[in-house]
Structure 1
Amino acid sequence: MAHKKKLPLDPVTVTIESLSHDGRGVSHVNGKVVFIDEALPGETLEFVYTDSRKDYAEGRVVNLLSRSEHRVEPACPHFGSCGGCSFQHVDDAEQINFKEDLLRDQFRRIGKLEIPQIWEALTGPHWGYRSKARMGVKWVAKKNRVLVGFRERRNPFLAEIDSCKVMNPIVGEKLIALGEMIAGLTVKDKIPQIEVAIGDKECVLAFRVLEPPTDADKQQLREFAHQHQLSICLQPKGPDTIMPLDGEPEVIPSYALAEQGVKFNFRPAMFTQVNYQINQKMVTRALEALELTKDDRVLDLFCGLGNFTLPLATQAGQVVGVEGDLPLVKHARENAKLNNLDNVEFHVADLTKDLKDQPWSKQKFTKVLLDPSRAGASEVLHNLKHWRPERIVYVSCNPSTLARDAGILVNELGYKLVKAGVMDMFPQTAHVESIALFVK
């Protein structure tokens, strides 16, 4: 990193003009844009450079000369060094305002659309909400301790944290105990990560192990699991190799959507929403927006475990869920059986490819739900000309691809954007989860 040497060392005074889409303060110095961590619009402050590139620079605050009225003291002592959160210095209401402004801005700039009506934000717990995580593990010989947690902000190294306030406390408050237990294992330097999967009642930790633990190691893991009332699994290779410790029962985490009366089993490494309270509100909102009746045939694209598909099946006549990941689809089918839903079918398909030859794709659908990954759903949208749904609900974890796809739906496919809004799935971070409704 030779270019780091040339950075000016003296603090520079600036006033922050706006926030970037990842929640950093934006300012300009000599015509070049600078992104400054933990800086808020309107604040005058001194910063030092942490990086400088051809067309932008990065910095961090060293001295606040004026404070934004929205600035609060971060609740976590590790905020700033740990990269898990980026927004703890902003009050809760302003976090939502920022996300709504960002959504409007992306729709304008990328989709060339105004949002006619902003849906009231879905909010829930601001702390302790996170039920899924992949935590890094690192034996640091110099410190004679095992670190468990997340990477430092803009750094590949693990942050040295004692607890995590956004994680469910069953794990978030046990990071020290976990590290101390791992430090006593012979394979303490052969465990790169722990997959955390917390259900409504059960907590499973899947330890990735690069070498098999000894019997004594396994005994220590077993005792820790019993003491803290959780289940520990070992993962020698890929996610499908996750197995309970010898002699321990397999604990299958599950979560329920009480409002729709549906229950889901899942495996630790499978994708599920991290925030159960918001997930419930989100599913309910999506179903209400689709205005379902028993005459509806609904298509749920990027359906995963069936998080929306199964609730849809409780209200619609027929539901088809499509997903690219075969293990998820197998699990979705099992969950449909578990819930005695026989008006739902699941198919595996790569939704970025041509779907004309897929039998399910030749059918017509009255309603469509989309919940794609960060990349969005642009490749699948032209199929709507054939399916001809009258209502589309689009759930998104990336406002810029949602805005792009909204532009396609409205400007090319003749749909009308009715409303859009944010859902506070990831409080204390700049991640924006959103939902939009389109009508023919």
Structure 2
Amino acid sequence: MTESTGNKEAQQQPDDEWLQVESLDLDAQGVAHKASGMVVFIEGALPFEEVQLKVQRRKNNWEQGTVTAIRRESSQRVRPGCPHFGLHPGACGGCKMQHLDAAAQVAVKQRALEDNLWHLGKVRPENMLRPLEGPAWHYRYRARLSVRYVVKKGTVLIGFHERKSRYLADMQVCPVLPARVSAMLMPLRELIGSMDARDTCPQIELACGDGPDGTGLGVIALVLRHLEPLSTADIARLKAFAAGHEGVQWWLQPKGPETVRLLEPGGPALAYQLPEFGVTMPFKPTDFTQVNAHINRVLVSRALRLLDVQPEERVIDWFCGLGNFTLPLATRAREVLGIEGSDTLVARATENLLRNQGPAPGRGALAPTSFVARNLFEMTPAMLVADGASDKWLVDPPREGAFALAKALADLHQQDDVPRDGWAPPRRIVYVSCNPSTLARDAGLLVHQAGYRCTFAGVVNMFPHTAHVESIAVFERA
């Protein structure tokens, strides 16, 4: 029995009322209002469509369901590019927006960024940047693919979970993965199905590198998570698979990420390149790198143009990771400091610095650069002062944002009793965000409490066909 005002799940039931879809939320659901004023979230519906739905959840002040009929269709509705996308049983849950034109997807994300900045941070950027866009297909150079041997079906499934389900989708292709990787899904299923360890290999992590000239696909690293030691026969099967598929390297992970090792040492290194800056970035497949290699190159270029680093300036790169922004900054600045929370990433960034230290085509040697590890979620004004004055900041936090950093900067702006030893706030901050809500929160601190203006903001379409919103914002000292 359905409860209209309770907090229990509603029984799935059709609703005869035709609804006008007003907008799209960050989960790519259409948003509408019933005649009663009840907010309704509708999977599969697009803005300006007139639809009916099947209600699946009902709470006190909202309902959620799936579109069942469309009386007026959006001009932005398109045919999905993947046979596994949709609302049908067993549909893959990896993408949420394939039914919406790619340009319209970007417009939705831009609106989401502006809405978050205003509603959460009370910040309106003085200028909106043109969105950064790239290929809509075959862009995903990183992925975590679940693996499951299904006894009843006598087959192995590899890929993403079904929409709103713990079950794996029966994926045979994946157009957002590189074409060579997509074509490898069925052979991989056959490989795992033939192994002695088919029941104890729950995951394959994918990480792709650039080709030797910085273009195209290079190394395809496949990290096999195995819960028990692999037999000699299974090792031989993995090696034979790699030999038969161009660029494939197997890495084995018996326990945590620190146990990952290359199955067959030698061969080309896993790396990506930033050709504009003459920088090559080796990495391990479990290191954090951006999913979309093309967009990452464009993003680094835009961030450095917006920061406008001059040869006499000192720059701090907060949440620096492997040095994705730090090393390009070192081709422009007088001195660069990279700060990261992970000792492992600091060590890897230092290795990458040494790898790129000398002159390269189109540039000289890198500026003096150093990396330190620090808990960036517990920053204080005194810690900021201890890192020394810098002319400009590059901030690239995880989804949690950079609240402690922004708060410490705001406290220094408002407090006169903190010893400064010549410290001064940065004149400009470029903030790269993967979560518009935490960006908005931090922007509110910077603008309303730390003495900055938000001069630019715009979206970066790092994940086409998903609801993920990546963005970039610029803050100038008022």
TM-score if structure 2 supplies the norm length? Answer: 0.88
Q: Which residue of 2 aligns with 1:17?
A: 22
Q: Which amino acid letter does the alignment assign opposite residue 125 of structure 2? A: I
In the TM superposition, what are the counterparts of 1:60-75 in structure 2 within 5 Å?
A: 60-75=66-81
Is 1:298 aligned to 2:315, yes or no?
yes
Provide the identity percentage. 43
Q: Which residue of 2 aligns with 1:350?
A: 375
Output one character per residue of 1:163-213: Cα deviation in whole Å (capped at 9) or x when no partner.
111111221221111111100001111111111010002111000001111
Q: Which residue of 1 aligns with 2:167?
A: 157
Q: Which amino acid letter does the alignment assign opposite residue 324 of structure 1? A: G
- Please give the alpha-carbon distance, in whole angstroms, between the structure 2 residues aligned to 1:10 and 1:110: 33
Q: Which residue of 2 aligns with 1:265?
A: 282
Using the TM superposition, give the Cα deviation of residue 355 of structure 1 relative to its aligned residue in structure 2, in angstroms.
4.4
Is 1:77 aligned to 2:83, yes or no?
yes
CA contact (8 A) 2:384 2:408 kept: no
- Please give the alpha-carbon distance, in whole angstroms, between the structure 1 residues aligned to 2:79 and 2:103: 15
Output one character per residue of 1:132-184: Cα deviation in whole Å (capped at 9) or x when no partner.
11111111111111111011122222111111111112212211111111000
Residues 57 and 10 from structure 1, CA distance in 2 versus in 1: closer, same or farther, beyond 3 angstroms?
A: closer
After TM superposition, the structure 1 stretch with the greater mean CA deviation from structure 2, 13-22 or 257-266, is 13-22
Secondary structure of the equivalent of 2:432? strand
Using the TM superposition, give the Cα deviation of residue 52 of structure 1 relative to its aligned residue in structure 2, in angstroms.
2.7
Q: Which residue of 2 aligns with 1:217?
A: 234
Is 1:91 aligned to 2:101, yes or no?
yes
- Please give the alpha-carbon distance, in whole angstroms, between the structure 2 residues aligned to 1:36 and 1:5: 15
- Please give the alpha-carbon distance, in whole angstroms, between the structure 1 residues aligned to 2:114 and 2:388: 34
After TM superposition, the structure 1 stretch with the greater mean CA deviation from structure 2, 55-64 or 406-415, is 55-64
- Please give the alpha-carbon distance, in whole angstroms, between the structure 2 residues aligned to 1:183 and 1:322: 44
- Please give the alpha-carbon distance, in whole angstroms, between the structure 2 residues aligned to 1:114 and 1:9: 41
- Please give the alpha-carbon distance, in whole angstroms, between the structure 2 residues aligned to 1:256 and 1:372: 21
Q: Which residue of 1 aligns with 2:363?
A: none
Using the TM superposition, give the Cα deviation of residue 377 of structure 1 relative to its aligned residue in structure 2, in angstroms.
0.7
RMSD: 1.9
After TM superposition, the structure 1 stretch with the greater mean CA deviation from structure 2, 421-430 or 57-66, is 57-66
Q: Which residue of 1 aligns with 2:194?
A: 184
Using the TM superposition, give the Cα deviation of residue 24 of structure 1 relative to its aligned residue in structure 2, in angstroms.
0.9
Output one character per residue of 1:211-267: Cα deviation in whole Å (capped at 9) or x when no partner.
11111111111111110120111100011111122x543753100000011110111
CA contact (8 A) 2:380 2:404 kept: no
Is 1:410 aligned to 2:420, yes or no?
no
- Please give the alpha-carbon distance, in whole angstroms, between the structure 1 residues aligned to 2:461 and 2:473: 15
- Please give the alpha-carbon distance, in whole angstroms, between the structure 2 residues aligned to 1:359 and 1:39: 47
Using the TM superposition, give the Cα deviation of residue 284 of structure 1 relative to its aligned residue in structure 2, in angstroms.
0.6
Q: Which residue of 2 aligns with 1:129?
A: 139
1:235 to 223, 232, 253: 253
Using the TM superposition, give the Cα deviation of residue 28 of structure 1 relative to its aligned residue in structure 2, in angstroms.
2.8
- Please give the alpha-carbon distance, in whole angstroms, between the structure 2 residues aligned to 1:142 and 1:11: 39
CA contact (8 A) 1:72 1:90 kept: yes
Secondary structure of the equivalent of 1:383? helix
Q: Which amino acid letter does the alignment assign opposite residue 251 of structure 2? A: C
Residues 333 and 177 from structure 1, CA distance in 2 versus in 1: closer, same or farther, beyond 3 angstroms?
A: same
Q: Which residue of 1 aligns with 2:326?
A: 309
Structure 1: tracts of 5 or more residues without a match: none
Using the TM superposition, give the Cα deviation of residue 361 of structure 1 relative to its aligned residue in structure 2, in angstroms.
3.4
Q: Which residue of 2 aligns with 1:361?
A: 386
Q: Which residue of 2 aligns with 1:48?
A: 54
CA contact (8 A) 2:340 2:373 kept: yes
Secondary structure of the equivalent of 1:431? coil
* Equivalent residue pairs, number: 439
- Please give the alpha-carbon distance, in whole angstroms, between the structure 2 residues aligned to 1:5 and 1:134: 33
Q: Which amino acid letter does the alignment assign opposite residue 239 of structure 1? A: P
- Please give the alpha-carbon distance, in whole angstroms, between the structure 1 residues aligned to 2:265 and 2:394: 40
Secondary structure of the equivalent of 2:63? strand
- Please give the alpha-carbon distance, in whole angstroms, between the structure 2 residues aligned to 1:268 and 1:11: 50
- Please give the alpha-carbon distance, in whole angstroms, between the structure 2 residues aligned to 1:73 and 1:98: 18
CA contact (8 A) 2:314 2:334 kept: yes
- Please give the alpha-carbon distance, in whole angstroms, between the structure 2 residues aligned to 1:119 and 1:24: 26
Secondary structure of the equivalent of 2:127? coil
Q: Which amino acid letter does the alignment assign opposite residue 252 of structure 1? A: A
Residues 404 and 362 from structure 1, CA distance in 2 versus in 1: closer, same or farther, beyond 3 angstroms?
A: same
- Please give the alpha-carbon distance, in whole angstroms, between the structure 2 residues aligned to 1:137 and 1:51: 30
CA contact (8 A) 1:137 1:191 kept: yes
- Please give the alpha-carbon distance, in whole angstroms, between the structure 1 residues aligned to 2:114 and 2:377: 27
Residues 50 and 252 from structure 1, CA distance in 2 versus in 1: closer, same or farther, beyond 3 angstroms?
A: farther
CA contact (8 A) 2:459 2:471 kept: yes
Structure 2: tracts of 5 or more residues without a match: 3-7, 211-217, 358-365, 413-422
In the TM superposition, what are the counterparts of 1:94-109 in structure 2 within 5 Å?
A: 94-109=104-119
Q: Which amino acid letter does the alignment assign opposite residue 31 of structure 2? A: V
Using the TM superposition, give the Cα deviation of residue 9 of structure 1 relative to its aligned residue in structure 2, in angstroms.
4.5
